[in-house]
Structure 1
Amino acid sequence: MENLEIPALIPLTEEGEQDCACGRESASASPFPSKESNQFSLLMPLNQSSGLYRKDLGHGWVLFHNPSKFSPPSILNSSACTLVDAFQSPISPERAIQMTGLPLEASASFLKEAVQAGLLVPADGSSELEEPPNPHALTLWLALTFNCNLSCRYCYVPSMPLSMTEGEGKRAVDWAIAKLKEQGLKALKIKYAGGEPLLCFDLLKAIHEYAQRKAWEENLELREVVLTNGALLEHETLAFLRGEGIAVMLSIDGLGSEQGLLRPLAGGGDSLPLVLRAIELAQSEGSKLFLSATVTSLNLEGLPKLADLAMDLGWPLSLNFYRPNGGGVALLPNPGRLVEVFQEIGELVKERLGQGKGPAPNLDLIHPASPSPYPCQGGISFFAFGPGGDFAPCPMLLGKSSASFKPSPVDEDPHCWTCFWRYLCGGGCPLLRNHHYCQAYRELIPLWLELKAQAQRVMITLARRLPRALHALA
């Protein structure tokens, strides 16, 4: 076990994109939204929180999570664990530090973070009521066109040759900036989607240039991503997107016949050769893509191979569960089999992490870095615009009635009251509130927390070895 003198607490982070309205990847500017750090004092007795989730990661690291808090799970080194375990009964931080013999300043800083993370609480029960985390960014989904060169079996977009005008796109950006300023937010995230947005690449460039200028004028952070099927990715396109700092999320559902079954070309034929060509091109040019797969009954068995490819490339992969949105229930995967396949993926990920590969794939709508009582930010800090000025709180509702859409807090659902993981799941997609994936979530969330924590531990270990290696070469 590595002997680390300075106690360290490292919140879990996330990497990747989702072809979804979730928006929780940017839920909070701070990993610790709790106000309880204001109560911290070296003389105030603290207790270890009851009901903590704890998982030994090996190599002197342990994963901790308080499921009743909105703070992300964290990984602690051995010195940090020693300090946390000193609070099995009420004791002051000053006394705990003296008992462990750890450095005073570093230990006090760690204990303040441990209170913020919900690992330690005031022994007198005076914890302040925690508020849900505030969003950091407003996400704007721009469906540039309803036209597409693919004909995906599960697509919710009405395929037609209808595209957004440049004026509509700019007005959507103006609306989003006004909305985020009204909410006191500091960042705008734009997702260029469709249909296939690269069919309107000139429009995308025009809106990007406008958004870039407006963000500079308003002193806002701007993040952008284009969601593409990859069939139209060329050298010039990748070069522009890379040069402008626009991320690319490529949808791919498998490496075999399942890709052609689920995502055939609009005129017929298999889209897989075009997607693989795009991946090879991006890899050869040093472009890092975000991969996204929609998990259905038809491609479930092939997902381990896709996860293996993503980790071999070093690209994030999001595994998004299929939502029928009013039809197509035949594509819903069997929850029991889904768990078995994802456990197989988990074993593969552990093996690949041991080889220095990564990152670990993302699990559907589960956002470890931003626990929340809401399943998504639709209608809160996420809004979708389509051609003709169409507006909705979720892209799946563009062109449809969204009056009944309401991402209500998970604590209002009796089905979720006793669930240990409810703030990581948020109750699931509001458009599929029949809890089809509920049991799968309950079984897979602890596994995925471990995978994410192990991936972060590996990165920490590699980062610490690099200076030693450079010193040895000097």
Structure 2
Amino acid sequence: MLSQTIEPPKILVSLDTNNTATGQCDCDGGDCACDLSPLAVSPLQIKSSPEVFDKFVRVPNSQIMNLDDSYSICYGSHHQLAVLNKSALNILANFTNPHNLQDIALDYPDIEFITLQQAIQKLSQARLIIPENYSWQLSEIPDTLTAWLHITDRCNLRCDYCYLPHLPTDMSPDIGKAAIESTFRSATLNNYRRVRLKYAGGEALLCSSLIQHLHLYAQYLSQETDIALDGVVLSNGTLITPEIVEMLQKLNLRLMISLDGLSNFHDSQRCYANGKGSFSDVERGIKIALQNGLTPDISITVSGRNAAGLPALMAWILEYNLPFSLNFYRENELSANYQDLQLEESQIIEGMLATFQVIESQLPHRSLLGSLIDRANLSSPHKRTCGVGQSYLVFDYKGQIAKCQMQLHKTVSSIDNPDPLSVIRKDKIGIQNLSVEEKEGCRTCEWKYWCTGGCPLATFKATGRYDIQSPNCNIYKALYPEAVRLEGLRLIKYS
């Protein structure tokens, strides 16, 4: 029996990282190449119940943060986030040097043997402890190939941070089908198990019939190639109708809607071409989707202009239990004149921390590890910020292929190429999405396999280099510990 003076070990593991906003990263529907190739740790041959004489040791690169008087959270790039009570933390400390179950049992005679065995099993399943002399090998394993289909340049809004000129051009059905064929062709040749299609613009729902036509064809190719298919429509939310929602549901398409604040905070950066604010129409569109059984993902662009309004927006989002992602503004040629959009460190940190306080008061069931801080994904280790140059294709309306949608005009291949992805990967002229291990200022950072040095395009614009840390590094470092803490509190609340 357990001693009255020793609490039973309790280990809460963040294993529900698939319960994020719909994909590998919570900005899955968003305006980024968020197709991370998570680092696969070479498999551990851990038995379902560790044997008495199997020796284990603590995993390297693991940190501990106190949450309250009873619990601490362990975080690190080589293991799942896990919350431990004091008893479990003491057991974990024993594995600083190699120990087996028998050794631990001698140190904890007041805890039943079966309880210790279960605790050690949980520690090993979370990778907090690993077999002695285990050799770590972290490698990028491709899983999903994503294609951005720029089906129209037309848009009914004129957002101040948009990078598009909004020309009256649409993708033709033939070009769209050829783009999808190119995507599945590269997916087959490069052994991808899944294809993700992002229907984007402009405002993609201006071409809703084209989306339907193309995705039906994509579903056909998915069945023919035995490659799984995901799809998402990127929208400003102003054109949502019950009929649109029904179409998306029938096609099994997700919906991402951009919402940057409530009322004036949203309108200050996302207005119609005539200058009228769009918030009321976006709010109506979100509610129409919800009333008809479709939960949209919300993409929030954080700028110097709307940072103060983030807490109120987050309270609204949590009230409706909406998945979301917080993404930082990125300057481009068309937005450079709007100085108030720039990310001033103290202003952004203050706004984000206030937003985290709102989240703490209304912790959702879903994990937020992939959605809280810009392009960072704290749910699993990875070497690159996004899929640019690795697992990402961007098709313009003419069938030309770029590496990043923010450089849509810099094409390097076309739909006629037998394997456009191979051309993308070989290109050394345009944007370079380097491994975090190649970036100055990142190599020794404890967050490197989660942060990966930030958006390469933003870094290059600020520094003229791709092989250096993000200009937002100080913002990230101020926010990451708070994001980890929120996950720990969420695990405790719903344990």
TM-score bucket of the superposed structures, by smaller chain? 0.7 to 0.9
Q: Tell me whether 1:168 sits opposite 2:203 in the alignment.
A: no
2:42 aligns with one of 32, 35, 47: 35
Gaps of 5+ in 1: 462-474
Greater helix percent: which structure? 1
| Aligned partner of residue 307 in structure 1, secondary structure | helix
Matches within 5 A, 1:45-124: 45-57=55-67, 62-67=72-77, 69=78, 71-76=79-84, 81=89, 83-96=91-104, 99=108, 101-103=113-115, 106-107=118-119, 109-114=121-126, 117=127, 119-123=128-132
Aligned to 2:372: 362
| Aligned partner of residue 408 in structure 1, secondary structure | coil
Matches within 5 A, 1:264-343: 264-326=271-333, 328=336, 330=339, 331-343=341-353
Aligned to 2:446: 420
Aligned alpha-carbon RMSD (Å): 2.8
CA separation in 1, counterparts of 2:86 and 2:220?
48
CA contact (8 A) 2:14 2:80 kept: no
Aligned to 2:14: 10
CA contact (8 A) 2:12 2:82 kept: no
Inter-CA distance 449–432: structure 2 relative to 1 (3 Å threshold): same
CA contact (8 A) 2:145 2:187 kept: yes
Inter-CA distance 285–301: structure 2 relative to 1 (3 Å threshold): same
Report the Cα offset of residue 219 of structure 1: 1.9
| Aligned partner of residue 238 in structure 1, secondary structure | helix
| Aligned partner of residue 410 in structure 2, secondary structure | coil
CA contact (8 A) 2:400 2:411 kept: no
CA contact (8 A) 2:401 2:411 kept: no
Report the Cα offset of residue 7 of structure 1: 5.4
CA contact (8 A) 2:101 2:117 kept: no
1:431 aligns with one of 454, 457, 462: 457
Inter-CA distance 442–346: structure 2 relative to 1 (3 Å threshold): same
| Aligned partner of residue 294 in structure 1, secondary structure | strand
In structure 1, what residue type is equivalent to 2:438? Answer: E
| Aligned partner of residue 363 in structure 1, secondary structure | coil
CA separation in 2, counterparts of 1:77 and 1:133?
33
Report the Cα offset of residue 17 of structure 1: 3.0
CA contact (8 A) 2:176 2:214 kept: yes
Inter-CA distance 211–75: structure 2 relative to 1 (3 Å threshold): farther
CA contact (8 A) 2:395 2:402 kept: yes
Deviation string, structure 1 residues 259-315 (Cα, Å, up to 9, x no partner) = 222111123311112111112222322321111111111111111111111111000
Larger mean CA deviation between 178-187 and 196-205 belongs to 178-187
Report the Cα offset of residue 103 of structure 1: 4.7
TM-score by length of 1: 0.86
Inter-CA distance 179–59: structure 2 relative to 1 (3 Å threshold): farther
| Aligned partner of residue 416 in structure 1, secondary structure | coil
Query: How many residues align structurally?
Result: 446
Report the Cα offset of residue 382 of structure 1: 1.5
Report the Cα offset of residue 376 of structure 1: 1.2
Report the Cα offset of residue 202 of structure 1: 0.5
Aligned to 2:410: 400
Report the Cα offset of residue 177 of structure 1: 1.4
Percent identity between matched residues is 27
CA separation in 1, counterparts of 2:308 and 2:85?
37
Larger mean CA deviation between 248-257 and 411-420 belongs to 411-420
| Aligned partner of residue 55 in structure 1, secondary structure | strand
CA contact (8 A) 1:7 1:79 kept: no
TM-score by length of 2: 0.82
Inter-CA distance 194–73: structure 2 relative to 1 (3 Å threshold): same
| Aligned partner of residue 223 in structure 1, secondary structure | strand
Inter-CA distance 400–57: structure 2 relative to 1 (3 Å threshold): same
